[in-house]
A and B are shown apart, each in its own frame.
Chain A
Amino acid sequence: MYLIEKSKVMTIADELAKEYELYGPVVDKAAGQVFFDRVEGSGDISLMAEIPALPPKATVFPQIESIMKYKYDRETKNAVIEPVFSEAKKALFGLRPCDLAGIICLDRFFIGQEFVDDVYLEHRKRMFIVTNTCVVPFKQCFCVCTDSGPDADEGYDLNLTEAGEFYLVESGSEKGAAMIEKLGLAKAGDEYRKIKKDVVDKSISLFEDLTTDNKAWISRVMNRITTGFIKDDVWEYVGKQCFECGACTFVCPSCSCFNIEDHNRFDKSTDRLRTWDSCSFEGYTNMAGDHNPRKPVEDRRNKRFFCKLSYSQSKKYLRPGCVGCGRCQWVCPGDIGLPNVVTYIRREITE
């Protein structure tokens, strides 16, 4: 563990900006909202800002990206295929632990299975991640229930924890250790371990009662969802409430369904685009010939909760798919964000 003075913490970001494209939490002055955005220098970044409105998943898995270009000339029968991969070196500065957990989910899903997704891997392999421990939870946060906060314990290059006049700096990789050496940070004594623990414990104690109360219920609900012992009424209610807008999937740090579409250009070349998709859309499972095995909305809508809370999906992420950021709860117009659905299932269990 190392120490850096609060006033100098941005030198880490400045150092990263020399080598990497820098991303960080920025408060949008007009809207008052926080976005995790590309910044030119450290000046715009706010480490005190609350959790960003959108997760940083777009840095590893952009909303729309071209994964391949091709050109086929029918006259000469000549086909040229050109893979497109990101070459950018990105540094994410001031990532919240829940969002890091989201990226870890995506890593294990895209890279850690039978097939490796090269498009994702190219985004990810040159990345530098600096996480920022949440010293106070924000409204709707429930990361304590999903084992993803308020401090990060793996997957970062550097981890910052605010403690009085200092930030405690921990390195989680060789890249992180090299950065600490480059900056010549002062080593922190053993007493700082206790200080960090106190900071984290205090943060945990500040979570709303409701959240901590829910903690045991999330594991209970995971059990129910995995074994399928949930009454159809619950899913029917959830289906009725759903607007099919797809917002929950777009703001979720671990949702990664995508669509692939070939987009023709005027110069006869074609871009193969990969775009975010949502399991709540009716067209998601519609096959050619118009056979749709998931036509009713409740058949589709419960899939998101299977993805976030079932054991079979957790096996792919090696953790729960839900990271406890609470964003789906903010954005859902139908009041069926994940914590609410857990509550509905909980009511059904207790009744």
Chain B
Amino acid sequence: MCENDKKVVTIPEVATIVEIKDEIQDVKTFYLKFDNPDIDKNFKIKSGQFVMLTVFGAGESAISLPPSPENDRFHLSVKRVGKVTDALHKLEVGDKVGIRGPFGNGFPFEELKGKNLIYVAGGIGLIPLRSSIVHALQHREDFGRIIVLLGARTPADLMYQYNIEEWLKIEGFECYVTVDQATPDWKGETGFVHYLIEKANVPVENSVAFVCGPPIMFNSVIGELMKRGMKDDAILSTLERHMKCGIGKCQHCSIGRTLVCTDGPVYSFKQIKTLGEQI
């Protein structure tokens, strides 16, 4: 096939794992490099997109992209939860994987200039938001306040701690952290992440909130933001669904009238309300 060099979207490209970093329990970051140098050079992503990752012999999964669109190494942070991710965690540096993508709409950054950006993440919900945080910090002057509110089950479950320390050096970056269960040496906040909204005195005027986390956290955070007067179209979230093809054909990821792979994964809360389905 492949007439006129048209890309066949159903066939993955081979990539090599060049580095593996242990993050928190059950989460590892895999730094990847495409074997085909042309693809490696031209691989462009948008914040909020995802790729389809093939672990040879195990299967394919949709994985969100944490690297920033600009000068960031291509990597994926993956939690071990099922068959494919389990097999991925057993791989070592030098092993090959398959990548299709990137797919999905991504965050609408062109419309967000000049606004305050509020990130609310629960646990590994920070992974899909990392790309956009790094992007925003690289263009710090384009935005108002940049606030990250982070919740995790225990202090050991906080993602990207080394990144956050680095970001805190950037002027005007605010980060608030809370955990559900504190350990004896934990000196920070305890409680659920939506309590931080009050504490951070989150601005609602000219602001956009990015929310990602488990459904129960999602609902309480949205409730709190709306109570403070945030508009429903100013709350963005990236959703997760069982996905097989990534190109809008298998229909496993349908929510209401939309498909998460082609119409999402980024939805505004205004859209989510009209879909008539559980998150």
Contacts and interface: CB of A to CB of B under 8 A. Distances in A.
Given A79-B98, A287-B242, A313-B257, A277 B250 contact: yes
A313 B279 CA distance: 21
B248 A74 contact: no
Interface stretch (A5-13, A111-119, A192-200, A323-331): A111-119
B274 to A, nearest CB: 9
Interface residues of A, number: 50
Contacts of B258: 312
Contact of B82 (A272, A279, A289): A289
A150 B16 CA distance: 56
B277 interface: yes
26 contacts: A70-B56, A72-B96, A77-B16, A77-B94, A77-B96, A79-B56, A79-B96, A79-B98, A83-B1, A83-B10, A83-B11, A85-B1, A115-B9, A115-B248, A117-B10, A118-B8, A256-B251, A257-B251, A258-B249, A262-B57, A262-B58, A284-B242, A285-B241, A287-B242, A288-B61, A312-B257
Contacts of B94: 77
Interface string A115-126: 111110010000
A313 B240 CA distance: 21
Contacts of A184: none
Q: Which 4 A-B pairs have the closest CB atoms?
A: A288-B82, A72-B56, A312-B257, A115-B247
A81 B12 contact: yes
Nearest to B279: A293
B95 interface: yes
A205 interface: no
B254 interface: yes
A117 B61 CA distance: 18
Contacts of A264: 57
B52 to A, nearest CB: 10
Given A288-B61, A288-B83, 5 more contacts: A77-B96, A256-B251, A259-B244, A270-B56, A293-B278
Contact of B257 (A279, A291, A310): A310
A79 B14 contact: yes
B252 interface: yes
Nearest to B92: A74
B10 A67 contact: yes
Contact of B248 (A114, A284, A303): A114
Considering residues B56, B59, B84, which has the most beta carbons from chain A within 10 angstroms of its beta carbon? B56
Contacts of B257: 306, 310, 312-313
What DSSP secondary structure best describes chain A's contact surface? mixed
Contacts of A284: 242, 252
A272 B8 CA distance: 15
Contacts of A62: none
Given A77-B95, A115-B9, A293-B278, A287 B240 contact: yes
Interface string B240-275: 111011011111101101100010000000000000
Interface of B: 1, 8-12, 14, 16, 54, 56-61, 81-85, 94-96, 98, 215, 240-242, 244-245, 247-252, 254-255, 257-258, 262, 276-279
Given A258-B244, A285-B252, A288-B82, A81 B11 contact: yes
B32 to A, nearest CB: 13
A274 B56 CA distance: 16
Given A115-B262, A118-B8, A289 B81 contact: yes
A122 B1 contact: yes
Contact of A72 (B57, B245, B248): B57
A269 to B, nearest CB: 10
Contacts of B82: 288-289
Interface in A295-314: 299, 303, 306-307, 310, 312-313
Contacts of B85: 288
Nearest to B251: A257
Contact of A114 (B16, B59, B251, B262): B262
B12 A257 contact: no
Given A79-B98, A291-B215, A306-B257, A277 B249 contact: no
